[in-house]
Chain A
Amino acid sequence: MEKSDGKTGTVSRRTFLKGVTGAGLTGAVAALTGCKSTGKPAGGTGWTPQQYNVPENWPVQVRGRVPIDTENPSIVRDDKKCILCGQCIEACSKVQSVQGYYELPIKDDITCVNCGQCSLWCPTAAISERDDVDKVIAALKDKNLHVIVQTAPATRVAVGEEFGMPPGSIIEGKMVAALKKMGFDGVFDTNFTADLTIMEEGTELVTRVKNALAGGHGGGEGGHHAPMALPQFTSCSPGWVKFCEYFYPDLLDHMSTCKSPQQMLGALAKTYYAKKKRIDPVKIVSVSIMPCTAKKFEAARPEMNSAGIKNGNAKMIDVDYALTTRELAKMMKIFQIDLTALKDQRYDNIMGEGTGAAVIFGTTGGVMEAAIRSGYFLLTGQNPPELLFNLEPVRGLQGVKKAALNVPGVGELRVAISHGLGNARVLLDQLRDDKKNHREPRFHFIEFMSCPGGCIGGGGQPRTALPPSDAVRQARLDSLYTMDAKIYKKRLSHENKEVQQIYTEFLGKPNSKLAHELLHTKYTDRGSHLTAKKKA
């Protein structure tokens, strides 16, 4: 190569031609080896489930998913884990008859009854409860706060599953021990307020029945208007309550005005308990352990601040945090508590006693059976005959159950039970039809539970390897009946000593003015937030 001796810019003809030829050759080779091809288009590197990979617009078995509002107080979804398997739609539509039972376009709400069945069916746990564990742990760490907890009937036969025990394992005492170990200042039993519910709801039923027998349309006690419609509906299941508010608001007069046991205990903790223990209600943090995701929604309902109103602070809510059974198990694991290794402990008084009638609240038919036992007493002044302690027609996993029994002095008391909201529609549509045609009500009392099997099959219960099955539900349900028949000493709500105590010391008598202020509620017509389908 020639050097230009410091003179820049001079290139020999030979060098120039070499350069040009070289560049030309490189270009030609590059073009031939692929620079001219377009390469692959962007995207299309992933996958979708098999049912979606078929030609054209053929129908498929399951498609898409349920809508979940980002503001939903009960459940959340992590899109990263969603595989569009469609199981949530199966649960929401086929089991609960919610998705697909309203017209499109939607109005100003994403219709959800917060039952959380979708979270049980979701195979990847993309749908789960809104996790409040951290908030409860923070409250436990704060020494200025008095943190109390209540546990629902159904959690004590399920939380063991999260520690490898078989479904239905009865671990009530160990669970109480674990809660005390975590540092809760008071460990109470929702069974206590379940018994209280029976007193309130039973009295309400007796009032309604007597009113009907008298052929009148009377009001309640204390000058307030109380609905008198028969049949009376149970109101313990917040998913069911919201379902009725959405799809059958015309029947809300039938809904018992009683709060659920969770909310009763919440309201009493910040009034009755605070007063007796001389604790400033502001410092009480009320936690509940529930088999249910809808309980989170219920606790956040704006009207659930009776204790707050009583204490002159409407912002104070009755139940601060509602945790699911799954969250409880997670919390125990965070605290490194081996549930199975603990020694049994007892619930704290003055809200810790429960009867067998209360514990069966956790299964379908249980509230009814408990109500019948004490309702019999309330109507006749005598304890029920032995038969009513094993009321077979109201037990079991059949979707809709019916029973009739003779109550001396009243006549035939007819009751019905449904669990799973799809089954509720059978009874509700029938009642609507009867009312339209001015027929006598077929039943006096109907128990509705949102979830299949009742609370033992609740949306906040431990997940199982398979989709929620009757085998697991039956095991949990059997355990509750075992506890009722063999473990608990008392089987009648009205014999609960602490319940008797709260009436003598605080509430007066069932359905009193104070009881109405703290233990009863009213409902919201949500019919304007959707267009319910006439026939789905």
Chain B
Amino acid sequence: MSKAVLVDVTKCYGCGACTVACKLWNGKKYDDAKKPTVGEKAQLTDINWTVVSKHQVPDASGKTVWRFAKKQCLHCEEPACASSCLVGALRKTEEGPVVYYPDLCVGCRYCMIACPFGIPKYEWDKSFPEVSKCQMCSSRLAKNEVPACVSVCPNGVMKFGDSDQILKDARATIASDKRYIKHIYGEKEAGGTAWMYISDQPFEKLAFKTAVKNQSLPEYTWKIINKIPAALVVWGGILTGVYMITNRRNAVKSSKNNENKGGKS
């Protein structure tokens, strides 16, 4: 059964415990000066698999309020990164995580271009760099444990469970409480993702990519790619036909020439 996480942006007070849990569990380095994990300058980087970005937004009455949005890989149902990977170093698992296997990676970084959310990062500082992104704690999920970030949240911002149930909960929450905007980010984006968000603020104001199409990218390219075998057969047929016709034409031409030469001599 595929797992999912629902993030309720309204419950986050920005303590950043999730970002510390991620660093502890995944052995990632800290660089508060250049790569902060919480605040207005927080960005996903090679060492920040998850961050809590701070946004000052107007509330219903126009007063400025602070909102914190926890960001990480969304773990698409049909990940473009995995479909673009030439060597199978990125794979979607049955439990939901999109997992990266560094031993297989050749460093082409197609995944970074393919991802509609700009998630995979590259370890530019290293001599033998790898692609770097959230694994949704696949090894914890294998033990039926929740991702590290989810496990440490003091406010229950993140809810972990079976994706059907999570989606049901999300719908119920936004329907029952009028503060929430009527949009579950991640329900449809890029064909649906394992991480979903509900919020009282429009997602573009929390720096979510809202221009992402609902269709998954692999599905989009598949429409063309799946026609390639047929196209090859047809194209081959056409070329063979052309070859045969020109061959025949040449044969006729040369025999005529021989006849003409013979007639003159």
State the A residues within 8 Å of B (CB).
37-48, 52-57, 63-68, 70, 78-80, 82-84, 86, 89, 104-110
- Give CA–CA (A45, B11) in the complex, Å: 30
Q: How far is the CB of B107 from chain A (nearest CB, A)?
A: 14
Residue pair A105, B25 in contact (C-beta under 8 Å):
no
What's the least CB distance linking B54 to chain A, in Å? 9
Q: Supply 16 further A-B pairs (C-beta < 8 A) apart from A70-B38, A106-B66.
A: A38-B103, A42-B132, A44-B137, A46-B23, A48-B151, A55-B145, A57-B159, A57-B160, A66-B15, A67-B16, A79-B19, A82-B20, A86-B154, A105-B9, A105-B10, A108-B63
A40 neighbours in B (Cβ, 8 Å): 101-103
Within 8 Å by CB of A104, from B11, B26, B63, B137, lies B11
Which chain B residues numbered 107 to 155 have a C-beta less than 8 Å away from chain A? 130, 132-135, 137-140, 143-146, 148, 150-155
Chain A residue numbers with a CB within 8 Å of B26 are: 42-46
Per the bound structure, the CA–CA distance linking A84 and B14 in Å amounts to 14
By a CB distance below 8 angstroms, the chain B residues around A44 are: 25-26, 135, 137-140
Contact: A56 with B24, CB < 8 Å?
no
Contact (Cβ within 8 A) A52 B37: no
Find out whether the CB atom of A47 lies under 8 angstroms from the CB atom of B24: yes
For the complex, give the distance between the alpha carbons of A305 and B56 in Å.
30
Q: Do the beta carbons of B101 and A106 come within 8 Å of each other?
A: no
Shortest 9 CB-CB distances between A and B: which pairs?
Answer: A39-B103, A64-B154, A44-B139, A43-B26, A64-B17, A67-B15, A46-B27, A52-B151, A105-B10
Known contacts A42-B130, A52-B151, A107-B65, A67 near B13 by CB under 8 Å: yes
Q: How far, in Å, is A7 (CB) from chain B's closest CB?
A: 36
Residues from chain A with Cβ under 8 Å of B143 in the complex: 55
CA distance A148 to B235 in the complex (A): 91
In the complex, A89 Cα to B143 Cα: how many Å?
28
How far does the alpha carbon of A64 sit from the alpha carbon of B26 in the complex, in Å? Answer: 17
Interface of A is mostly: loop
- What are some 14 contacts across the A-B interface (CB < 8 A)? A39-B101, A41-B99, A41-B100, A43-B49, A44-B25, A47-B25, A48-B152, A52-B148, A63-B17, A63-B152, A65-B16, A84-B152, A104-B12, A110-B14
- Say whether B30 faces chain A, with CB atoms less than 8 Å apart: yes
Cβ–Cβ contact A53 & B32, under 8 A: no
Q: Which residues of B contact A80 (CB under 8 A)?
A: 30, 32
A42-B145 in contact given A48-B24, A107-B65, A108-B66 (Cβ < 8 Å): no
Assuming the A-B contacts A66-B15, A104-B155, are A42 and B148 also in contact, with contact meaning beta carbons closer than 8 angstroms in the complex? Answer: no
User: B37 and A79: CB pair below 8 A?
Assistant: yes
Query: Interface size for chain B: under 10, 10 to 19, 20 to 34, or 35 or more residues?
Result: 35 or more
B206 within 8 A of A: no
Q: Which residue of A lies closest to B14 (CB)?
A: A67
**B residues less than 8 Å from A56 (CB atoms):** 144-146, 160
Is there an interface contact between A105 and B49, defined as CB atoms closer than 8 Å? Answer: no
A462 to chain B, nearest CB (A): 26
1/0 per residue, CB under 8 A from A, across B49-77: the answer is: 10000001001000111110000000000
Q: How far is the CA of A52 from the CA of B14 in the complex (A)?
A: 19
Q: Is there a chain A Cβ closer than 8 Å to B236's Cβ? A: no
Cβ-closest chain B residue relative to A47: B24
Residue of A nearest to B151 (CB): A52
A37: B residues at CB distance < 8 A = 103
Contacting pair B200 A64 (CB below 8 A): no
Known A-B contacts A38-B101, A55-B144, A108-B64; the reply to A63 vs B135 at CB < 8 A is: no
Contact A89 B100 (CB under 8 A): no
CB distance from A41 to the nearest CB of B (A): 5
Which residues of B87-111 have CB atoms within 8 Å of chain A's CB atoms?
88, 91, 99-104
Contact A54 B11 (CB under 8 A): no
Q: Looking across the interface, which residue of chain B has its beta carbon closest to that of A89?
A: B154
Any A CB within 8 A of the CB of B218: no
Which residues of B sit under 8 angstroms from A110, Cβ to Cβ? 13-14, 66
CB of B176, distance to nearest CB on chain A (Å): 16
CB nearest to B102 among chain A residues:
A42
Q: Give every chain B residue within 8 A of A63 (Cβ-Cβ).
A: 17, 151-154
Q: How far is the CB of B143 from chain A (nearest CB, A)?
A: 7
Answer whether residue B191 sits at the interface, using C-beta atoms and an 8 A cutoff.
no
Chain B proximity of A195: nearest CB distance (Å): 42
Find the B residue at minimum CB distance from A53.
B145
Instruction: Kindly state the separation between the CA atoms of A399 and B86 in the bound complex, as whole angstroms.
Output: 67
A65 to B17, CA, bound (A): 6
Question: In the complex, A82 Cα to B100 Cα: how many Å?
Answer: 27
Nearest opposing residue in chain B for A71, CB measure: B39
- How many angstroms between the C-alpha atoms of A115 and B229 in the bound complex? 71
Of B66, B100, B140, B161, which is within 8 A of A107 by CB?
B66
Closest A-chain residue to B41, C-beta based?
A70
Q: Cβ of B174: which chain A residues have Cβ within 8 Å of it?
A: none
Which parts of B195-242 form the interface with A (CB within 8 Å)? 200
> Which residues of chain B have C-beta atoms less than 8 A from A89's C-beta?
154
Residue of A nearest to B160 (CB): A57
> What's the minimum C-beta distance from A90 to chain B, rounded to whole angstroms?
11
Cα–Cα distance between A186 and B10 once the two chains are bound (Å): 51
Complex alpha-carbon distance, A351 and B59, angstroms: 50
**Bound-state Cα–Cα, A89 to B11, Å:** 16
* Known interface pairs A41-B99, A43-B26, A79-B37; A105-B64 also in contact (CB < 8 Å): no
B135 and A105: CB pair below 8 A?
no
Residues of B within 8 A of A43 (CB): 25-27, 49, 134-135, 137-139
B94 to chain A, nearest CB (A): 14
A84 CB to nearest chain B CB (Å): 5
Residue of B nearest to A82 (CB): B20
* Contact present for A41 and B135 (CB under 8 Å): yes
Q: How far is the CA of A106 from the CA of B200 in the complex (A)?
A: 12
In the assembled complex, the Cα of A308 lies from the Cα of B103 at a distance in Å of: 65
Shortest Cβ distance from residue A486 to the other chain B in the assembled complex, whole angstroms: 47
| A54 & B145 in contact (Cβ 8 Å cutoff) | yes
**A52 to B, closest residue via Cβ:** B151
Q: Are B21 and A84 in contact (CB under 8 A)?
A: yes
For A77, give the chain B residue with the smallest CB separation: B16
Q: When the two chains form their complex, are residues B13 and A57 in contact, meaning their CB atoms are under 8 A apart?
A: no
A-side contacts of B99, CB under 8 Å: 41-42
A67 to B25, CA, bound (A): 20
Given A55-B143, A84-B20, A104-B10: A39 touches B25 (CB 8 Å cut-off): no
Across the interface, A46 reaches (CB within 8 A) one of B24, B103, B134, namely B24
B96 shortest CB reach to chain A, Å: 14
Complex contact A39–B30 (CB within 8 A): no
CA distance A86 to B151 in the complex (A): 12
Bound-complex Cα distance A141 to B66 (A):
41
